[in-house]
Each structure stands twice: as structure tokens, then as C-alpha cells.
Structure 1
Amino acid sequence: MKHPPGLGGILETPVYVDDMDAAHAFYEGVLGLKRMVKGERLFAYNAGPEQTLLVFHRGHTGEDVPTPGGLVPGHDTSGPSHFAFKIDAESLQPWRDYLAAVSVEIISEVVWPAGGTSLYFRDPDGNVLELASPPLWPNYTG
């Protein structure tokens, strides 16, 4: 086979945290994501159509996990990570206002050469989150 069969997109985005309660208060309470799964080592949030944000309890996911359907390989990370949410350009100012109102500091704002804008801020564990408006990447033009 010369070409892979194809991918349907990114299904899950992971982030690792030390404080699961603070993470839940932030991701559901501040960002408005609905928690779909609550476990000891992970929470899963609806991050959009067919998109899931997985919040893992750092240090508790390194071992393989047997399930009735098979083995989930262990994984973990250290230090802050980064991921981005898509927003419309018209939502930039409402997001600036909202984040200020809930005392979430925008640590950086970038206007990209393609014309899109990104707002960067941190979750309670120091992970860097981005709200990105198009156009940004060749495949994210709005």
C-alpha cells in the first residue's frame, strides 16, 4: 500500500493536570464544556462535534489499563501543554470581555500573517490554551 487509508480528523485532545477539581471548575465552569465522563484518572468533555477534550490526572495514567475490550497503553507527560479551540473572528471581543470578567488573564494575543488572531491564556495547572480565529492555517480559513 503506497498511501495510508485516510484519517477522519482529531477525535481526542489530551491535557494533563495535577488538580482534577480545579480543572473541572475551569473547563466546565469557566469554558462551559460539558463533562461526559468522570473517572479517577480522567474526565472527558464535549469540545464540539465529534471532538473530546480528555483531562488526565498527571501521574495516574502511566500504567497500562485493562478494559473488557482490550488494553489501553499507559501514557503521561510533565510540564505544561498547549491546545487551541476554534472561534469566529466576531467572538474575539466577547471572549476578551468574558475572560476578563471571570479573572482569566490573556497572556498573549497574536495576529497571524494569514489574518487570524489567537488569544492565549492558562488553565489552573499552567497549560496554555488558545482561542484561534481564522484564517490561521491553510486548512483553517473560515
Structure 2
Amino acid sequence: MSKAPPLGGILETSVYVEDLERAHGFYCGIVGLTRMVSGERLSAYDAGPGETLLVFARGLTAQDVETEGGIVPGHHSEGPSHFAFRIAADQLEPWRAHLAACGIPLRSEVVWPAGGRSLYVDDPDGNVVEFAAPPLWPNFTE
């Protein structure tokens, strides 16, 4: 088997929601992301340098979509999903306070074996959103 070429990281991650505007209220209004693209099927948010959060309308993405540049394969998800935002360790308390001030209850808080911490909340569609501070994974220490 040949050795895989190097990756540059994860460019996009996605969640599926019932109501794009309700999700926009959370991801823009609460989390503070800037929406870069808005349409009937999806909203795309700037989630950090070179990183994009795709918020898809559940039920509108299962079919292939033909574009001028080629066909985007259909995809979908059932039930809640999970992803994590990277935050600095000194931002745990500000995030905890901000979420509380916005009426977003913490679902869970975890202290990881390496010493990092994660705050977990639900978005309006039940997707599990994590705010993770290092050290957590061997490749996430700062």
C-alpha cells in the first residue's frame, strides 16, 4: 500500500438542521460566526482561518446537485451530530459566562486526561456543539 499524501487539515465540517434561520440565530447571534454564503440548502460560516462550518437544511441535500463546475454528491444525516470549536484555555470562563447570558444551558463539562476542558451545549436542532480548550488531543496542546 502506498503512503497517503499529506493533508492540510479539515476544511469543512457540517451539521444538519430543520430551520436555517433559526440555526443562523444560534451560530451568528450566539456563537458569533460570520455567514459567508446563504441559500435555500445551506449556510456557510467562517469558523476560523481556513475553516468553514456548513449548516445544511435537513432533507434538501440528499440528491446530487449539478453545478457549472461539476456534480456535488448528495449527502445527509439523521439525528444530532457533533463538532467542536477550538478555544484558548483562558477563554473557558468568558464562554461559560456568554452562553449563560444568552440563556444557553451547558449540557456537560468535561476535564480531559491531558488537562484540557470542554463545554458542551445543544444548538436549536439538538446538535452537540463543543467548545474545547487545550490540552486535549496530542495535536491540540496550545
Class of the TM-score when normalised by the shorter of the 2 chains: over 0.9
Partner of 2:58: 58
Unaligned runs of 5+ in 2: none
Give the distance between the partners of 1:70 and 1:6, measured in 2 at CA.
25
Partner of 1:95: 95
Question: How far off its partner does 1:18 sit?
Answer: 0.5
Q: Deviations over 1:74-103 (max 9, x none)?
A: 000110000000011110011111100000
Partner of 1:21: 21
After superposing on structure 2, the runs of 4+ consecutive aligned residues of structure 1 that deviate more than 4 Å are none
With normalisation by structure 1, the TM-score equals 0.98
Q: What CA RMSD, in Å, does the superposition of the two structures yield over aligned residues?
A: 0.7
Partner of 1:130: 130
Question: How far off its partner does 1:19 sit?
Answer: 1.0
- Name the amino acid aligned to 2:135: P
Partner of 1:117: 117
Give the distance between the partners of 1:19 and 1:138, measured in 2 at CA.
36
Partner of 1:34: 34
Give the distance between the partners of 2:106 and 2:25, measured in 1 at CA.
18
Q: Give SS of 1:100's match.
A: helix
Give the distance between the partners of 1:4 and 1:111, measured in 2 at CA.
34
Question: How far off its partner does 1:2 sit?
Answer: 1.5
Question: How far off its partner does 1:21 sit?
Answer: 1.1
The answer as to 2:5 corresponding to 1:5 is yes
Give the distance between the partners of 1:113 and 1:131, measured in 2 at CA.
16
User: What percent of counterpart residues are identical?
Assistant: 65
With normalisation by structure 2, the TM-score equals 0.98
Give the distance between the partners of 2:136 and 2:79, measured in 1 at CA.
26
Give the distance between the partners of 2:59 and 2:11, measured in 1 at CA.
23
- Name the amino acid aligned to 1:56: F
Q: Give SS of 1:94's match.
A: helix
- Name the amino acid aligned to 1:63: Q
